[in-house]
Structure 1
Amino acid sequence: MNLPATPGAVIAVLNCGSSSIKFALFDAGGAELPRQAWWGGKVQGIGSAQPRLQTQDGLDRALALGGDEPYHDALAVIREAIRARLGEVPVLAVAHRVVHGGAHHAAPLRVDAAVLAELRGYIPLAPLHQPFALEAMEVLLQQRPDLPQVACFDTAFHHSLPLVEQLLPLPYAAYERGLRRYGFHGLSYEYQSLVLPERHGELAGGRCIVAHLGSGASLCAMRGLRSVATTMGFSALDGLMMGTRCGALDPGALLYLMEVEGLDVHEAGHMLYHESGLLGVSGQSADPRALIAREAEDPRCAAALALFVRRIVREIGALVAVLGGLDLLVFTAGIGEHQAEVRRRIVAELGFLHLGLDDTANAANAAVISSAGSAVRVAVEPTNEEWVAARHARALVRP
């Protein structure tokens, strides 16, 4: 790495999921916060028989998280690893990616006991992530009450949505109670709003759709670098088909599963979050790469891929209609950044927009993958949610 061996101070970022915790340290000792993390890693396999600590400098170590609270144990491992790496270098703040900030939080905020209690109310809306971020905050509040913590919300970027994009077609009283479309992946989209003008100039401020395609997936339509429409709504189940999540679903199908097939609310929730999407349709994998390798001999793998692409294409078409056209299409996140074949299939079905793909550039995951004659620029831009969170935390704690 071409970063200082010993920063003057750091901002730590935690991104907590149900079975993994990613962490990153950003050098906060200079005038500008570097976009590349100074150091970081992850603990994965929490709750499994083989948890591991992996860091970006090559450490890969098996862990023993055999207690009653393996998540607490994993956080303790990360604290010790950071302490050993930093020595006397101070941590100015810890930034947390928090999936849901509700209707009121349009900006990051400092965490205290009252904030923590409020955010617990959003756990049912983001059960895969929300409780684990809050658990990390609670542990740190108990053990290091002097250390500033900052909650950075994935919903905040979408507070620019117009009312027509917030409303659900339910009785209006439901909206007043907080049942509305929130939108997610906001830290990723916020990063794109900052970096795309650097790469694409004025084009980025026009009619832009960003496709955040990973194990979770969504689209965001931006105009003037602000969110004007997005595919995820009230919860992180909505919109696109995902790795194990269903995406948009006829509510009548859910009623049928519960009323006729007898699923209770917990069983239905588990199906929609963990047993659907690419994994559910294919019966094989949530990873498109594995499905592409098997699709020639397995019709279900082929069907899962076709449905995944079709749902993305359908939603892009809907967002193009909202924007009144399209100037820039951007792929980001794990699938969007690295899986050229998925991008190729999506662009091929968008031929009505006169998109053209440069196959060589696409295979290389280049920054611009559209052909010279394409009517719409197609780009690949790696996301950087951790830097966005660190940037917000530094701004809140800087004297």
Structure 2
Amino acid sequence: MKLDPGRLPGLLARGALPIAVAVAVQSAGNLAFHAAVGRLLDADAYGALGTVLAAMMMLGVPLGAVQTAASALVAEHGLSRASARRTLRLVALWSLGPALAVLACAPLLRDYFHLAGPAEAAQLAPYLMIAAVVAAARGLLLGARRVGAVAVTYLVATAVRLALGLALVVPFGVSGALAATVLAELAALLVAAGPLRHPDGAGTPGALRLGAVAHAGFAVTGLFLFSTVDLLLARHHLRDGSSGAYIAAATVAKTVLALPAGIMAAVFPRLLAGWLRPGRGRVLATGGLAVAGPALLGAAVIVAVPSLVLRLLYGDGYTDADGLVRALAGVAALTSLVTVLTYAALARRARTLVIPWLGAALEVALIETWHDSAAQIALCSAAALVPTLLLMLVLEARVWARPTAQLGPAGAEEARSAATAA
């Protein structure tokens, strides 16, 4: 599988750059948000906040499947005002049931994560509905190649979250910081609604298929569980300041995954198109470099000066967490490779999509067995990463390295099905 670095500038120029810049700003804003509220809240309260924010992210990740499906819908049928309204209404309806379920479970979530009250957990419900519709709106715009408009939604959401977060965290504590996050998503939706009301072209009627959303959702949910479940378990098992230290270290470390996730949105269509063509190994290798390269570079910087990063963001409260930052930054950087290989499996609709789920299950089992300290939980996360990444490399990269002629009838039919679905 040969690497072709010359393809990287073209990859960035054809859609990745605006999203990459917006996600980079969003990541910096996320760090600033955590740094600000981390200084204003005590360690235990910050641990509670970080856990609920991680849960918000976990609820939002399956919505990436909605975004992908909406984008494919517009790519096939075009974008019209009627189809946009129909899609947004349908997604809102789909998310209503899960949102009500989360609301009903708020007392249980309060007890499990040791929150101050059910109101903090209850904010997950409106976040889920708003984030679902935002994901659909962004997908519609991406399908219409309105990449700049999508980038603006990220920038506006970041600005609103920072401004309201600082204003609300002082009088309302954790609940205020969470409310700022919900309102930031609402602001993003209002921005996306503008270009959707006046689409550039006329589209033909098309329906968003729940089956297509479910298939993509299986992939991205397993991937996100694999990369984030340690934060939730750390809050459950660790007490007092230990959970806050883990959340702080993990927030710094996992930030290196944000920019690769944005670039992945541009790489994935290339994987879909390249799977059936000669040189598909180069497509995977080039996409892997575009996605994992920034993650590895960011992790190297964090590993070199963890104490400085922690001090700049959180002051002197978490300076003893530099070892955690190093370990978790390395885990996050290598997880970006799992991300690329998972999307490669999604591009060819392969059964290897189950591997991140197996990795997440292994991570949960290890942490449930060894969780006496933050260091133990970080080591368990690393121990789950190693076999997951190796298995994905053996099973997925090997297939992409084969010449197209070696697919065979069954493989060719699978490839044609994947291309048709795309």
The two structures have a TM-score, normalised by structure 1, of: 0.31
More strand per residue: 1
